[in-house]
Amino acid sequence: MKSPFRFVSFLLFLLYAFILSCTSYQVLCENDRPIIGVLTLPPKDPDNYSGEIVASYVKWLESAGAQAAVLPYSLDANEFKLLLSSLNGVLLTGGADFIELDPDSDYIKAVRMILDKAKEFQGFSQSEREAIRDGNPGSVVERADFFPVWGTCLGFEAIICVENMSKEDTLSQSTDYKNVSLPVEITSEADNSLLFENNQDIISSLSDASNPIPFHNHQWIIPIETFVNSYRLSGSYSILGYTEFCGDNCTPSVTIVEHFLYPIFATAFHPEKNAFEWALSYNINHSSIAVGVMQTLSQTFVDYAKMNSNMFLSEDEQDSHLIYNYSPTYTGKDSQSTTTQVYYLPI
């Protein structure tokens, strides 16, 4: 008869081997410590700062179980690509109306490199796709090529302009989307999308005109007609949502997009503001339903970041890039401020 002790020892050995495979080799196990890069914005005061990040975007990621790393837009291209290879995804934030989306600017060059990174993805197997469809992305084997990217407001505009290779032929100015909460009409494309496939319960809330949740605050829009008539856009991205309830003479605009092949998501509205921005001058819906809906979007994005196996070469290197090295400034005490906190990054 075999010794019970030897059997227990064998089980412990198997458990140790499994833990080792998760922590050391990053295979077969969900990455439960995702680090998402937040692309900095060009500073309003370039003489004193190298970049800035509105803190609500960091909180939006952290609330879903991710850590945020600073991703400087002005890094040398080789350094930038090296840093991307250590991250599990990237968030392109809104803000900075003064940015002109010049195709030759350091900011747009950075966005282009981020999108190129996301496009290294080779696709899911049938079993992986079924696992995601069943609401179990954690069962998908981690892979370095699955690199999710999310763009909000300015980030949304930057992604669209880079993909369409033009700002002038893509964006239109509008005064109907400044400081207003508007419902989003969700399209049938959402049913099979990575973003909404397992989030059908929030669709009715996003579309509810009696309690509008998505907060818009942008002067540029992508008219639906412009998007559909662009083969670069309509041939690569699905329109998951659009907004048309913005006034009698308002131009319906594209509001949510997802790439056909790669994990690239973007929204014209601000999902981070419902829970984390408190300017009294803003018409933000802070209801429990609104916060919950936007939390679902952040959780979905972070869950996909957990499927990425990238990691820093050392803990010291990782720590040097995390947002915790900086302290946010309380900007909300200024009655003219539109943000509650901002990270101003030193030169």
- pLDDT, one tens digit per residue, over 123-133 is 777 777 777 77
Buried b (16+ CB within 10 A) or exposed e, 202-220: bbebbbeeeebbbbbbbeb
Q: Which residue has the higher pLDDT, 169 or 162?
A: 162
Q: How far apart are CA 155 and CA 212, in angstroms?
A: 22
Q: Which residue has the higher pLDDT, 117 or 168?
A: 117
Q: Which residue has the higher pLDDT, 142 or 68?
A: 68
Q: Which residue has the higher pLDDT, 221 or 290?
A: 290
pLDDT of 103 reads 82
User: Mean per-residue pLDDT for 290-308?
Assistant: 96
Q: How would residue 273 be classed by pLDDT, with cut points 50, 70 and 90?
A: very high
Q: How would residue 28 be classed by pLDDT, with cut points 50, 70 and 90?
A: very low
Residue 71: its H or E element:
strand 67-71
Structure tokens at 257: 């997009």
Residue 140 main-chain phi, psi, to 5 deg:
-80, 130
Give yes or no for residue 104 having a pLDDT over 60: yes
Domains and CATH numbers, the chain: 32-346 (3.40.50.880)
Give yes or no for residue 14 having a pLDDT over 50: no
User: Mean per-residue pLDDT for 142-150?
Assistant: 88
89 CB-near residues (< 8 Å, 6+ apart): 34, 36, 37, 147, 148, 149, 150, 301, 304, 305, 308
**Kind of pairing between the strands at 35-39 and 67-71:** parallel
Q: How would residue 17 be classed by pLDDT, with cut points 50, 70 and 90?
A: very low
pLDDT of 44 reads 87
- Straight-line distance from the first to the last Cα atom of the chain, in angstroms, rounded to the nearest whole number: 71
Long-range pairs, 229-237, Cβ under 8 A, ≥24: 230/164, 230/169, 230/170, 232/163, 232/164, 232/165, 233/160, 233/163, 233/164, 233/170, 236/163, 236/260, 236/261, 237/163, 237/264
DSSP states of 285-340 as a string?
Answer: --SHHHHHHHHHHHHHHHHHHTTB----SSHHHHHHHBGGGS--EE-TTSTT-S-S
Among 21-25, 38-42, 335-339, which stretch is predicted with the lowest mean pLDDT? 21-25
Give yes or no for residue 24 having a pLDDT over 50: no
Q: How would residue 170 be classed by pLDDT, with cut points 50, 70 and 90?
A: confident
Give yes or no for residue 293 having a pLDDT over 90: yes
Give yes or no for residue 106 having a pLDDT over 80: yes
Q: How would residue 12 be classed by pLDDT, with cut points 50, 70 and 90?
A: very low
Buried b (16+ CB within 10 A) or exposed e, 238-272: bbbbbbeebeeebbebbbbbbbeebbbbbbbbbbb
Q: Which residue has the higher pLDDT, 5 or 163?
A: 163
Q: How far apart are CA 39 and CA 22, in angstroms?
A: 28
User: Mean per-residue pLDDT for 42-68?
Assistant: 95
Q: Which residue has the higher pLDDT, 111 or 30?
A: 111
Long-range pairs, 121-126, Cβ under 8 A, ≥24: 121/145, 121/146, 121/147, 121/261, 121/262, 121/263, 123/261
Could you tell me how far CA 46 lies from the centroid of its own chain? Answer: 26
pLDDT of 248 reads 63
pLDDT of 161 reads 92
Give yes or no for residue 6 having a pLDDT over 70: no
CA dihedral 99, 100, 106, 112 (to 10 degrees): 110
* Catalytic residue set: 153, 270
Q: How far apart are CA 29 and CA 31, in angstroms?
A: 6
